[in-house]
Amino acid sequence: MNIRSKIMKLTCALIVLMLSMTMLGGCGENEPHFGKTKALPTSNSTENSDSKVDNNICIIQELNMIEETITVYNTVTTRTLRYKYSLATQFLDKYGSESSSLNFTPGTAVVLGDKLKSNALSSIKMSDKTWTQTGVTNYTINKDAHKISIGSATYSYTDNICVYSGNESVSILSIGENDTLTIVGKDSGVLSIAVTTGHGYIQFVNTANFDGSMVQIGSYIFAKITPDLLTEVPEGSYDVTVANNGYGGTIKCDVKKGEITVIDLGNVERGGPKTCQLTFVVSMPGVTVYLDGNPVNANETLTVPYGVHNVKVTATGFNDWNKILYVNSASAKIAIDLSDESSTSNSTSGNNSSSTKKNSTNTSNSSSSSSKDLDYLSTLSNMIGTLTGNKSD
């Protein structure tokens, strides 16, 4: 096969061997599941959007933090579309100030910004044309009349209303009289309902040395750390992991319904700085790897401090591959491989072994998808051990 063919791309499969870290607090099992929506509220198929972004109000269906995609329901066109986002994408509140991606949950009304050169969205902003009521318990739903009463006010809804319980799309018929709701609407109409029964909060304090870096909560939640970050999550037990400037670690915490669990990141700074024994594994000639702008020797172990690093891979006849690497393990291996655009490389890892194999490009949460439309999140996936990289220009 001619490696200069335009259909060929450079794919990096990140294979990471996670070692145990010092952990604080207690933990249980049965961690809540994130990242997959089982059903969509309309009959339309999910489309990977390459078209120009409009300014219509959209309802978030899913923010997939592993694949680095956002699926939204356009309230005007009634189409369900999937877009790419990246670390360059700004998450903004309705006033235009920076916000955490953790606040962009299913049911949130947003307006999407234009696309960057990478085809990722430039911004995802909470709509300032809608209203939101949280912690709603004094409601009645007249399903026959398509009416919702909140206190003394009455609102209407259509058959296309978006209803969620956690990350799952559900029917409005499933809402019980004792549930707690977050309701989003525009004027006198309701656009979405999120069932938040059983949710609690995580409050991060003393974040100064980690601001701007990333936090992982459980297996599927990733977000940028902002000062005094407060996020809502289903009750349960979580591993919370952070890393920046040579410091990092994992804290175990329990989140209880209606309560705020405080995590002091100042405690994580103790015992640092920490480093990772990182190896780029290259099995073919003509591949050059750059770490933070400097070429490195492939197949040799490097000592890299915990935190965020820039990785660039070049190969004769292939497009350059650029990603942000988030280092938060004692050792890691990054395997550089070449593949067709029509396939992706899925990697799994364990404590003492790793393997890589090629799989089809269909994602598990959509009726139709293609790898050339998806930019998988290799920036953070080294924290969870299932890693895929694919560059599409």
Which has more pLDDT, 324 or 96?
Answer: 96
The answer on 55 and 14 residing in a single domain is no
Nearest to 11 by CA among 372, 384, 385: 372
The whole-number pLDDT of residue 125 equals 97
The answer to whether residue 62 is domain-embedded is yes
Which has more pLDDT, 118 or 162?
Answer: 162
Q: How far apart are CA 187 and CA 332, in angstroms?
A: 52
The answer to whether residue 266 is domain-embedded is no
The 3-class SS string of 33-56 reads CCCCCCCCCCCCCEEECCCCCCCC
Each residue's pLDDT tens digit, 135-177:
999 999 999 999 999 999 999 999 999 999 888 899 999 898 8
Q: How far apart are CA 193 and CA 59, in angstroms?
A: 10
- Would you say residue 27 has pLDDT above 50? no
The answer on 67 and 14 residing in a single domain is no
The answer to whether residue 135 is domain-embedded is no
Q: How far apart are the first and last CA of the chain?
A: 21
The answer on 83 and 15 residing in a single domain is no
- Would you say residue 45 has pLDDT above 80? no
Confidence tier at 226 by pLDDT (50, 70, 90): confident
- Would you say residue 236 has pLDDT above 50? yes
DSSP 160-194: T-EEEETTEE--GGG--TT--EEEEEETTEEEEEE
The answer on 291 and 365 residing in a single domain is yes
The whole-number pLDDT of residue 47 equals 64
- Contacting residues for 76 by C-beta, under 8 A, at least 6 apart: 54, 56, 57
Nearest to 191 by CA among 51, 89, 76, 46: 76
Which H or E element spans position 239?
strand 236-244
pTM, entire model? 0.59
- Would you say residue 41 has pLDDT above 60? no
Q: Of the candidates 96, 126, 156, which is a domain's last residue?
A: 126
The answer to whether residue 260 is domain-embedded is no
**What proportion of the chain, given as a percentage, has pLDDT over 70?**
72
Name the most confidently modeled range: 28-42, 243-257, 265-279, 319-333.
243-257
Nearest to 255 by CA among 288, 285, 218, 224: 218
Is the peptide bond preceding residue 273 cis, with omega within 30 degrees of 0? Answer: yes
The answer to whether residue 34 is domain-embedded is no
The answer on 289 and 364 residing in a single domain is yes
Helices and strands, counts by H and E, the chain? 0, 32
The answer to whether residue 242 is domain-embedded is no
Q: Which residue range forms the structural domain that includes residue 340?
A: 8-19+275-383
Residue 306 is classified by DSSP as S
Q: Of the candidates 101, 126, 151, which is a domain's last residue?
A: 126
Name the most confidently modeled range: 2-11, 56-65, 192-201, 349-358.
56-65
Three-class secondary structure of residue 223 per DSSP: strand
In this structure, are residues 373 and 50 in contact, taking their beta carbons and an 8 Å threshold? yes
The answer on 327 and 290 residing in a single domain is yes
In this structure, are residues 13 and 356 in contact, taking their beta carbons and an 8 Å threshold? yes
The answer on 351 and 290 residing in a single domain is yes
The whole-number pLDDT of residue 339 equals 55
The whole-number pLDDT of residue 188 equals 96
Confidence tier at 363 by pLDDT (50, 70, 90): very low
Q: Of the candidates 74, 94, 126, which is a domain's last residue?
A: 126
Rg of the Cα trace of the chain? 22
Confidence tier at 337 by pLDDT (50, 70, 90): confident
The answer on 365 and 297 residing in a single domain is yes
The answer to whether residue 107 is domain-embedded is yes
Mean pLDDT of the chain: 74
The answer on 364 and 301 residing in a single domain is yes
The answer on 56 and 15 residing in a single domain is no
Q: How far apart are CA 256 and CA 195, in angstroms?
A: 16
Number of domains in the chain: 2
**Domain CATH code at residue 61:** 2.40.50.320
The answer to whether residue 291 is domain-embedded is yes
- Would you say residue 196 has pLDDT above 60? yes
The whole-number pLDDT of residue 187 equals 96
The whole-number pLDDT of residue 289 equals 92
The answer on 100 and 15 residing in a single domain is no
The answer on 374 and 316 residing in a single domain is yes
